[in-house]
């Protein structure tokens, strides 16, 4: 499978590296694109923030039934006993960090992945804030390897730089770095919001380690009311940790190559829960595309190294998988996602799970009922009745 | 629960019972995040654990502040990874000498509730979900006999601890079956700075050492059978094995 590689192992955490160059002209799509301009001719979805208890759900059956509208809270009744729901438990980082060059030029560094051993991997933005659309921001200062900068109040050395993509190494102990990140950083902000978002607003109800550059937002409406309801309905719940990266950089060439390689970790109990579900004829339902990306990347790196049979094993790896309508999922049968309109990159990846005409009908239904798109909006559930092919 | 290999967070960890708990958890092989307001005593507690080969990390923060909660949880999980044990030990008496309820300022009661009740609630809200989704975890609320006995002048503190006991019991009921165990523990009277502030003329020799109480609490964390979720346990009556 072209465009899909993953390294796997139980040793020290794998290193995430930038792709050599953004691939342009290939069927490469961004996965959590939300900052992109509204495509012309697409039905309009709302932009209001929806409280997590009040999220609505468009249910899409790829086999041809008309999409229908439900409350997200009805999820336990929409799935079947024996299914397994897999969530991404990565907490959202305060990934927007203030910085300054030795010459006094200010910039914003947006982390693109987890922080390890003092390494900060991210994208530079110029002067300005989230109220300016990312594509209209001033150009950031040009950094080159060896430069000294200040980021989140700490001194750092530029280890590598490729245009706006940089890797900084911070001087100081791990505890001091974590303190600085949380003291100076804020979660990545969105242009559609006037009020700044606090970390409280961008965490799922089961967030653990801070690995995500932006919220794995498909899980936002999963309250404990819903999660415990799933358990009572005989639906298993399992977790993995996937370092969700940036949804947008404001640069078309960079955005076309999103998502970049992302680190993931799948615990043994999750592998066991998936195997048990499959053995009893249950379906694997992914909460968000980051879960799809982790599970499908792990399946590709199955025990025989050929990805045959969709075998997945526990451990950590780096996912470079990109999803679009040509991709055939090996593990994941159904998907909960935010709402996206035709033309958005995210819409294309949902086509791996349902035909585009079904997705267009779903968007029309959502628009007709005033549902909201984006990270803090409503959701859709693509739920095929049959098992994924072996 | 086996302590070895767990990530543990302890609030109020720079002195007294919190520090003793952090030290013992580290000795038993946990990676420990110590949370306290004052940088100096906290750094000293962390350095002492590290001198003995333990894995300890300092997090400066006030659990009474809503803005501090995600910072505390994020820094802790950044430093030590997944958290399997959370001990709500940070606590305040309010102004001392302790006052009668009718002499207690409204703001002083609110401040006591912020530290002793709302803080633990917020931190649990941020930490317990990840435990429940993984199917394992222990949350300990440090209580007091003032939560049960209506001692004059202990109104603000006693009310906060009684409320925390109830929060602990309801959490345990709601998380039943998830693998997360929730306990409230009355440590009994200990020779600590807090005890000295409340009862300056106490006979210190008659008080328990914090390390002895910590040993009992750590055994409660280990022994699911004798310390079942939802229970309120009294440390001096706990039979150490």
Per-residue pLDDT reduced to its tens digit, A82-116: 999 999 999 999 999 999 999 999 999 999 999 98
Is residue A10 over pLDDT 90? no
List B157, B160, B168, B229, catalytic entry: B157
Task: Give the residue, A267 or A32, on which the prediction is more confident.
Answer: A267
Tell me what the mean pLDDT of segment A205-210 comes to: 98
Q: Which two tokens stand for residue B235?
A: 């440390």
Catalytic residue, chosen from B28, B161, B168, B229, is: B161
* Residue with more model confidence, A48 or B121: B121
Residue A29: predicted pLDDT: 29
Q: A140-144, A256-260, B139-143, B201-205: which range is least confident on average?
A: A256-260
Residue A306 pLDDT level (bands cut at 50, 70, 90): very low
* Binary contact (A204, B60; C-beta < 8 A): no
Is A227 within 8 Å of B133 when comparing Cβ atoms?
A: yes
Residue A225 is classified by DSSP as H
pLDDT at A134 (0 to 100): 66
Chain centroid to CA A110: 15
- A337 within 8 A of A303, measured Cβ to Cβ: no
pLDDT of A33 over the 50 cut: no
**pLDDT, tens digit (0-9, with 9 covering 90-100), for A352-388:** 999 989 999 999 999 999 999 888 899 999 998 654 4
End-to-end alpha carbon distance in chain B: 15
Beta-carbon pairs below 8 A across chains A and B: 80
Q: Give residue A368's pLDDT.
A: 94
How much is the average pLDDT of A268-293? 95
Mean pLDDT across chain A: 84
The residue among B133, B136, B178 with the most chain A CBs within 10 A of its CB, best to mutate, is B133
- The rounded percent of chain B whose pLDDT value lies above 70 is 100
Range with the lowest mean pLDDT among A238-247, A312-321, B178-187?
Answer: A312-321
pLDDT (mean) for B136-161: 98
Residue A257: predicted pLDDT: 79
- Going by their DSSP bridges, the two strands A106-111 and A96-101 should be labelled as antiparallel
Q: Which tokens in the block code for residue A61? A: 């059956």
What is chain B's mean pLDDT, rounded?
A: 97
Radius of gyration of chain B from Cα atoms?
17
Task: Please state which of the ranges A128-132, A156-160, A229-233 shows the lowest mean pLDDT.
Answer: A128-132
User: Is B157 labeled as catalytic in the residue annotation?
Assistant: yes
Q: Report the share of chain A in percent with pLDDT over 70.
A: 84
Q: Are B38 and A170 in contact (CB under 8 A)?
A: no
Rg, chain A, Cα only: 20
**Does the distance separating the beta carbons of A228 and B130 come in below 8 Å?**
no
pLDDT score of A27 more than 70: no
| Chain A environment of B59 (Cβ under 8 Å) | 175, 179
pTM: 0.91
Work out the average pLDDT over A151-155.
Answer: 96
Among A178, A206, A210, whose Cβ lies nearest the Cβ of B129?
A206
The span from the CA of A9 to the CA of A380, in Å, is: 34
Average the pLDDT over A10-29 and give the result: 38
Give the number of other Cβ atoms within 10 Å of residue A41's Cβ: 8
Confidence of residue A309 (pLDDT cuts 50, 70, 90): low
- Predicted pLDDT at A7: 38
pLDDT in tens, B46-100: 999 999 999 999 999 999 999 999 999 999 999 999 999 999 999 999 999 999 9
Chain A residues with CB-CB distance to B130 below 8 A: 89, 206-208
A377 in Cβ contact with A46 (< 8 Å) = yes
The pLDDT tens digits for A167-206 are 999 988 899 999 999 999 999 988 777 788 999 999 999 9
Chain A, window 249-308: residues with a beta carbon less than 8 angstroms from a chain B beta carbon: 267, 269
Q: Does residue A209 belong to the interface with chain B, where contact is any CB pair within 8 Å?
A: yes
Would an 8 Å CB–CB cutoff place B74 in contact with chain A? yes
Is B71 in contact with A182 (Cβ distance < 8 A)? yes
* pLDDT tens profile A129-145: 777 766 677 889 999 99
Taking CA atoms, B70 is separated from A47, A108, B7, in Å, by: 26, 21, 17
Give yes or no: B2 in active site.
Answer: no
């Amino acid at each position: 499978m072209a465009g899909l590689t993953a390294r796997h192992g139980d040793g020290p955490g794998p290193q995430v590296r930038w792709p050599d160059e953004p691939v342009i002209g290939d069927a490469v799509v961004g996965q959590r694109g939300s900052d992109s301009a509204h495509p012309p001719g697409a039905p309009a979805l709302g932009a209001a923030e929806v409280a997590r208890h009040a999220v609505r759900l468009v249910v899409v059956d790829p086999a041809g039934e008309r999409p229908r509208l439900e409350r997200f809270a009805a999820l336990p009744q929409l799935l079947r006993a024996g299914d397994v729901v897999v969530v991404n438990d990565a907490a959202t980082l305060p990934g927007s960090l203030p910085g300054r060059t030795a010459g006094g030029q200010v910039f914003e560094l947006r982390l693109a992945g987890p922080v390890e051993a003092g390494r900060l991997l991210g994208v530079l933005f110029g002067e300005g804030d989230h109220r300016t659309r990312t594509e209209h921001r001033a150009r950031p200062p040009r950094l080159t390897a060896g430069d000294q900068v200040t980021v989140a109040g700490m001194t750092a050395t530029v280890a590598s730089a490729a245009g706006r993509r940089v890797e900084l190494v911070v001087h100081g102990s791990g505890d001091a770095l974590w303190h600085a990140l949380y003291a100076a950083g804020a979660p990545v902000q969105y242009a559609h919001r006037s009020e700044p978002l606090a970390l409280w607003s961008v965490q799922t109800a089961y967030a653990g380690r801070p690995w995500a550059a932006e919220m794995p937002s498909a899980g936002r409406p999963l309250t404990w009311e819903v999660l415990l309801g799933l358990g009572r309905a005989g639906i298993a719940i399992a977790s993995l940790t996937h370092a969700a990266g940036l949804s947008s950089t404001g640069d078309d060439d960079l955005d076309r190559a999103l998502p970049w390689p992302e680190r993931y970790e799948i615990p043994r109990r999750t592998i066991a829960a998936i195997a048990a579900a499959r053995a009893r004829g249950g379906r694997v339902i992914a909460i968000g595309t980051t879960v799809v990306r982790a599970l499908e990347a792990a399946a590709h790196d199955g025990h025989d190294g050929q990805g045959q049979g969709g075998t997945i094993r526990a451990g950590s790896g780096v996912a470079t998988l990109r999803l679009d309508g040509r991709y055939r999922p090996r593990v994941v049968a159904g998907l909960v996602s935010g709402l996206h309109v035709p033309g958005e990159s995210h819409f294309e990846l949902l086509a791996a799970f349902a035909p585009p005409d079904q997705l267009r009908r779903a968007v029309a239904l959502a628009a007709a009922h005033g549902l909201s798109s984006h990270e803090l909006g409503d959701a859709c559930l693509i739920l095929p009745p049959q098992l994924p092919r072996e | 629960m086996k302590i070895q290999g767990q990530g543990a967070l302890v609030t109020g960890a720079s002195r007294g019972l919190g520090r003793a708990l952090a030290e013992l958890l580290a000795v038993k092989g946990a990676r420990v995040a110590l949370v306290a307001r004052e940088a100096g005593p906290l750094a000293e507690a962390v350095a002492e654990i590290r001198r003995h080969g333990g894995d300890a990390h300092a997090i400066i923060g006030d659990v009474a502040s809503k803005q501090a909660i995600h910072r505390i949880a994020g820094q802790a999980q950044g430093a030590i990874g997944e958290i399997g044990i959370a001990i709500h030990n940070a606590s305040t008496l309010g102004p001392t000498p302790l006052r009668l309820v009718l002499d207690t300022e409204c703001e002083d009661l609110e401040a006591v509730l912020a530290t002793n009740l709302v803080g633990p609630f917020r931190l649990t809200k941020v930490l317990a979900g990840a435990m429940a989704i993984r199917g394992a975890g222990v949350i300990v609320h440090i209580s007091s006999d003032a939560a049960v006995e209506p001692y004059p002048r202990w109104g603000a503190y006693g009310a906060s601890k009684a409320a925390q006991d109830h929060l602990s019991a309801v959490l345990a009921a709601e998380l039943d079956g998830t693998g997360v165990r929730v306990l409230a523990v009355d440590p009994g009277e200990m020779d600590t700075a807090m005890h000295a502030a409340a009862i300056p003329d106490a006979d210190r020799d008659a008080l328990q050492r914090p390390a002895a109480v910590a040993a009992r609490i750590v055994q409660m964390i280990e022994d699911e059978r004798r310390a079942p979720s939802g229970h309120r346990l009294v440390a001096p009556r706990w039979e150490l094995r």
